[in-house]
Amino acid sequence: YDYLNGESTIEPNLNDLAPIGKWERGIGNGCPFNLGTYFDRGNWVYSDDIQKNDPPVLFYNLFACGPGRLTDENYLAGAYIFNTTYGLITIASSKSGSMLYFNDFTEPLGEGSTIGEAFQTWFNKQAPFELWEQEWYYGMYLFGDPTLRVLKLDNYSPNKPEITGPINGAPEEEYTFQINDVKDPEGDAIYCYWDWGDGNNSGWKGPYTSDDDIIEHHTFYTKDTYIIKAKLKDVNGAESDWGTLNFSLSKNKLLSNFNFLKKLLYYLRITY
C-alpha cells in the first residue's frame, strides 16, 4: 500500500543497483533482511545485546517495526525494560508502524502529564484515522508503568503551608481551616493534602493555582488534642514540608451545653 502517496516515484526502486548488490525489500516472506549486509554501521540487535550493554536509559520510543510483538520470544520492547538495570518504559509497535508527529506526545509530557496520559493524548490527536494511519498506528503499545512522569531537574517544591483557624472547640461542631495565598516558585498547579490527626485525611485535592486560598471544613468527635497537618505538591510531584496547627477539644458538647444552661439560669435568677 502506498501510504504516503507517490512512493513509487522515490528512488531507489526495487532491484536498482546499490553500492553492494541491489536494493531489496526490507521485509520479504515475513523475515527482515540483514541491514548489516549493506551498511557497515549497523547490524542485528538481539535482546541479549541489550542486556549485555545495559544502556543507562529510562525511556525508549522505538522507531521500528515489530519490537512490541508480544508473541515473539524475547521481544525487544520487553528486553529494554525487563532485562536492563534502568529501563522503565518502552513505546513500540507490535507490527509495521511507529509513532509520528512526536510533538503531540512530548508537549503534554513536558507539561506534567504522565507517560500514559501523553501517549493517549498523542493517539487521540491522530484521529480521525485515514486508512494508512489505521494500518500504521494501530498496534502501538506502551510497556511499563504508565503513571510515571518526567520531573524537571530544576523543579522546586511549593512553599510550606501555614494553616489558620480555631485552636480549640467542642465535639461534633464543624470548623473551618484555611491556607492563604499558596505559592509555587515556578507557578505550577498545586495539590493539597490534609491530615486531620484523627485517622482521617482528605487525599490529594486540587488543582489550585498560586495565590489561591485553600479552605477546608472538618468535624471532630472525641475530646483530645489533634495535630492538623497539611502539605502541598506541585504538578511535577515536588512536595512541601508539612504545615501544622494544634487543635484541642477541651469539653464535650453535652457538658458545654449544661454549663451554658447553668450560667443562663444563674443570670435569670439574679435578674428576677
- The answer as to whether 33 is a domain residue is no
SS3 208: strand
Indicate if 174 and 89 belong to the same structural domain: no
Contacts of 43 by beta carbon, 8 Å cutoff, 6+ apart = 34, 35, 36
Average pLDDT of the chain to the nearest whole number? 82
Q: Could you read off the pLDDT of 206-242 as tens digits, one per residue?
A: 999 988 999 999 999 999 999 999 999 998 889 999 9
| Pair 125, 89 in one domain | yes
pTM: 0.45
* DSSP assignment of 127-185: PSPPHHHHHHHTTEEEEE-TT--PPPTT--PPPPP-EES-SEE-TT-EEEEEE-S---T
Question: Same domain, yes or no, for 134 and 61?
Answer: yes
CATH of the domain at 223: 2.60.40.10
Say if 82 falls within a structural domain: yes
Tens of pLDDT along 94-150?
A: 998 999 998 899 889 888 899 999 999 999 999 898 998 998 999 999 999 999 988
Backbone angles phi, psi at 118, to 5 degrees: -65, -40
The grid cell for 124 is: 487521540
Instruction: Name the band, by pLDDT with cuts 50, 70 and 90, for residue 89.
Output: very high
User: Can you tell me the distance from the alpha carbon of 136 to that of 64, in angstroms, rounded to the nearest whole number?
Assistant: 11
Could you tell me if 138 and 173 lie in one domain? no
Specify the amino acid at residue 71: T
Chain centroid, CA 227 distance in Å:
31
Range of the domain at 87: 45-144
Clarify whether residues 119 and 192 are in a common domain.
Answer: no
Domain membership of residue 91 (yes or no) is yes
Number of structural domains in the chain:
2
The pLDDT value recorded for residue 30 is: 36
Residue 138 and residue 80 in one domain? yes
Is residue 74 domain-resident?
yes
Q: 185 and 120 in one domain?
A: no
Same domain, 138 and 179: no
Among residues 82, 117, 144, the one where a domain terminates is 144
Q: Answer yes or no: do 61 and 134 share one domain.
A: yes
Residue for grid cell 501510504: 3
Same domain (yes/no): 133, 69: yes
140 found inside a domain: yes
Of 144, 176, 199, the residue at which a domain comes to its end is: 144
